Homo-oligomer: A and B are copies of this chain.
Amino acid sequence: MPEFRKDAVVDRWVILASDRAKRPQPNAGKNEPAQTDPCPFCAGNEAMTPPAVLTYRANDPDSNIATWSVRVVPNKYPALVNEGSWTGQSNSIYQTMSGLGAHEVIIEAPEHVVNMGALNEKQVEQILRAYRDRIVELRNDQRWRSILIYKNQGAEAGATLEHIHSQLIALPIVPRTLQEEIDGARNYHDLNKCCVYCTVIHQEVGAQSRMVAESERFIVFCPYASRFPYETWILPKQHATCFEYGSEEDYAGLARSLRETLIRFNRRFKNPPFNYFIHSNPLGEAANAYYHWHMEILPKLSQVAGFEWGSGAYINSVAPEDAARHLREVTL
Interface residues of A, Cβ cutoff 8 Å to B: 5-21, 23, 29, 31, 79, 92-94, 148, 150-152, 155-159, 167, 169, 171, 175-178, 180-181, 184-185, 188, 196-197, 199-200, 203, 223-227, 275-279, 296, 298, 302-307, 309-319, 322
Point out the residue from B13, B18, B196 that lies within 8 Å of A319, measured CB to CB.
B18
Interface contact A305-B152, CB-CB below 8 Å: yes
* Chain B residue at minimum C-beta to C-beta distance from A4: B313
Identify which of B15, B94, B156, B319 contacts A313 (C-beta below 8 A). Answer: B15
B12 adjacent to A181 (CB under 8 Å): no
Sample of 12 A–B contacts (CB below 8 Å): A8-B188, A10-B184, A21-B318, A79-B315, A94-B225, A148-B307, A150-B309, A158-B304, A169-B307, A169-B311, A177-B312, A178-B312
What is the oligomeric copy number? Answer: 2
> Looking at chain A's contact residues, is the secondary structure mostly helix, strand, loop, or mixed?
mixed
Which residues of B are found within 8 Å of A151, using beta-carbon distances?
A: 306
Cβ–Cβ < 8 Å partners of A315 in chain B: 14-15, 17, 20, 79
Name the contact of A7 in the complex, choosing from B23, B223, B278, B319 (C-beta under 8 A).
Answer: B223
Would you call A313 and B175 a contact (CB within 8 A)?
yes
Contacts A29-B31, A197-B9, A224-B7 given; does A311 touch B176 at CB 8 Å? yes
Contact of A317 among B13, B21, B93, B296 (CB under 8 A): B21
Cα distance A180–B310 in the bound complex, in angstroms = 12
Complex CA gap A310/B166 in Å reads 13
The distance from the CB of A304 to the nearest CB of chain B, in whole angstroms, is 6
The residue of chain B having its C-beta at the shortest distance from the C-beta of A29 within the complex is B31
**B residues less than 8 Å from A180 (CB atoms):** 9-11, 312
Q: Which residue of B lies closest to A3 (CB)?
A: B319
Instruction: Report chain B residues within 8 Å CB of A311.
Output: 148, 169, 171, 175-178
In whole angstroms, what is the CA distance A305 to B309 when docked? 15
**Which residue from B7, B79, B167, B224 sits with its C-beta under 8 Å from A5?**
B224
Point out the residues of chain B lying under 8 angstroms from A298, CB to CB: 309
Chain B residue numbers with a CB within 8 Å of A11 are 180, 184
> By the criterion CB–CB under 8 Å, are A306 and B158 in contact?
yes
Give the docked Cα–Cα distance between A16 and B29 (Å).
Answer: 30
Closest to A292 in B: B9
Return chain B residues, CB-CB under 8 Å to A223.
7
The distance in angstroms between the C-alpha atoms of A203 and B94, with both chains bound, is: 10
Residues of B within 8 A of A317 (CB): 17-21, 23
Please give me the residue from chain B that is nearest to A150 by CB atom.
Answer: B306
A278 nearest CB neighbor, chain B only: B310
Contacts of A152 in B (CB 8 A): 303, 305-306
